[in-house]
Structure 1
């Protein structure tokens, strides 16, 4: 389910059973309480008999490996970012999603009812992930290739028109296009009639292929100017051949990330994170992150440039269409002390549901 990293293999070989147990206890204490764990408390909870002095010696070795650090003089230890990554890859046990979490996700992630848009499902999925993880839930989708139901051209100015394209699930897209000089209203009507008669029920990709086959018929039924409008309308719907693939992002639960922060600097760093997420480049980057692995991926802190300033973690999984093409991603953004073992199967199951509903 989780795509494992292999960079920490050498570190794993350096740890014996005793040092591995101490390291695991330090990380688990941090994930649960967020506080440093000292040698005296550690010695009490270890399954083997070790004095606080012996525990301190092991902690020094772990610190030398870069796995833990002391936030204050004479304080206990916390895991470093490298330590968290090592723990996730080498120690964390990811089980199956609980029946309770499965039922809760299924209640919120379902096929849109009549009159609801796909964005409604995305918003509910994002809100659900936020509530269950106490982080920020994210759902990203690339614009799919919708099936055309109806096309209409509405003149706005002598050289501008509004293209209204309606998909089979009643999703509507409106775009303004430039008209060639001299375009008449009858030509706009003729172009729309041709599209509705010949291409309704096709996706944009299928429509483009069909247009190639119908070029002779186009020349017979439409004059050259109307043919140009047909092709312009399709180009507007798909976003244009020279533009990056459009994406949509829904984030819910941002306030969850503001709880328990140390100060204004942390809040500013989170604002920077969400400013980044609003940018198209970041959306594409998130989709690329999900696409790089076959299952759930975990990014901790500065492992990805999106989170180098925010100090946050991302758990993300792709979802796919009927042809197994990645069309989006779902995930959770939160502090580095997320409950990874619970959230990973939760994100994975949500991605599976989204895939099922996208087919």
Structure 2
């Protein structure tokens, strides 16, 4: 919602309209249930008749802030209404000292002597447990020095490439092979790469292989040279543009209390999105565009538009203050935003601190 529209809608709401709207949203975030005029009359600080409340609700509905899920039902906030509430009314909670210490202790303990992937996996699991949603972590390609690369033929036109970094991280990718590649050519390509990538980052390795292009042509046949280029390309992400890792923990939390067939179908769409990782790189871009935590509600994020899920996400940075990943929580639109925002923010700060 743009700032002028937000201010315009704020000015159009008097104190009782704000009170009614806030109660409808608070009730939805807590219980997921619509609120009717009779219930509102008991919850409001001032005494208003059900008829007056219905008139106010009609005005809020006209503004696009609430809607009736079916005839004679109470009202629920629309996605626009939730965005309006988050921008205009929501008061962020703060983490207690015990919660801060708990997050810091758990993240640091998982990072002590372990790989970066293990630390991020534990962070995702922790966010899931604290939020009762799904914890998600996205990482870009690591710029740590490389140690070893190997091609393992799976079938005539497929091979598994295994990349080992000097800090012990191991990543696997399946690549398409040129027609006619033999096992000896796979070994030849692996040996050539290993002679030139050890101790270099991926970017440095690509630059070095490019510099040695004439030598590469002389040392390798055409098929082996193609393998060298494919082996480096898949790790640089030039084939897919996707981050190297997507870590999701706590999907079962999203299934709790889901009974309606429509809700199950929405979750299926969400799980499909997570499985395919389609468009995940845009989350890193979106996180990098803002400072601190970003909140995307329902269709505001086209990646999850079919499932209508909400995402609270924050970037984390390396020692050079570059965004190298993002972490957050995915869940239904009635996430407890006021609690989750500081939780995600503090976790991202801790991880950034450990990466420096």
| TM-score clears 0.5 | yes
Deviations 1:177-213 (A, max 9, x none): 7798997899779746743xxx543312234445677
Q: How many residues align?
A: 348
Aligned to 1:349: 346
CA contact (8 A) 1:153 1:192 kept: no
Tell me whether 43-52 or 176-185 shows the greater mean CA deviation: 176-185
Distance 1:73 1:152 in 2: 63
- 1:118 paired to 2:116: yes
Change (3 A) 1:188 1:283: closer
2:266, 2:318 → 1: CA distance?
35
TM-score relative to the length of structure 1: 0.81
Question: How does 1:179-258 map onto structure 2 within 5 Å?
Answer: 191=192, 194-195=195-196, 200-209=198-207, 224-225=218-219, 233=228, 236-237=231-232, 239=234, 242-247=238-243, 248-258=245-255
1:82 partner SS: helix
Structure 2 counterpart of 1:60, from 58, 73, 78:
58
Give the counterpart of 2:146 among 133, 145, 148. Answer: 148
CA shift for structure 1 position 132: 0.8
Q: 1:350 to 1:237 in 2, by over 3 A?
A: farther
Provide the rounded CA distance (Å) in 2 between the counterparts of 1:154 and 1:261.
43
Q: Which has the larger radius of gyration?
A: 1
- Pick closer, same or farther for the CA change 1:285–1:279 going to 2, 3 Å: farther
Q: Tell me, yes or no, if the aligned pair for 2:139 and 2:325 is still in contact at 8 Å.
A: yes
Structure 2: gaps spanning 5 or more residues: none
Whole-angstrom distance in 2 between the partners of 1:194 and 1:48 = 78
Q: Contact 2:258/2:264 (CA < 8 Å) preserved in 1?
A: yes
Distance 2:274 2:152 in 1: 35
* SS of equivalent residue, structure 1 residue 96: coil
- Partners in 2 of 1:162 and 1:45 — Cα distance? 62
Q: Is residue 2:45 matched to residue 1:50?
A: no
Aligned with residue 262 of structure 2, among 265, 276, 297: 265
Kept in 2: contact 1:235–1:241 (CA 8 A) = no
Which of the residues 46, 71, 85 maps onto 2:69? 71
Distance in 2 (alpha carbons) for counterparts of 1:357 and 1:235: 33
Deviation of 1:122 after TM superposition, in Å, equals 2.1
Q: Give deviations 1:23-43, integer Å, cap 9, x for gaps.
A: 112211221222222333323
- Cα distance in 1, alignment partners of residues 145 and 225 from structure 2: 16
Instruction: Please give the root-mean-square deviation of Cα atoms over the aligned residues, in Å.
Output: 3.6
Q: Where does residue 98 of structure 2 map in the other structure?
A: 100
Shift of 1:131: 1.0
Name the CA distance, whole Å, in 2 between partners of 1:223 and 1:29.
68
Q: TM-score, normalised by structure 2?
A: 0.82
Q: 1:204 touches 1:234 (CA, 8 Å); kept in 2?
A: no
Q: Which consecutive residues of structure 1, in runs of 5 or more, have no partner in the other structure?
A: none
Indicate the larger mover: 67-76 or 86-95.
67-76
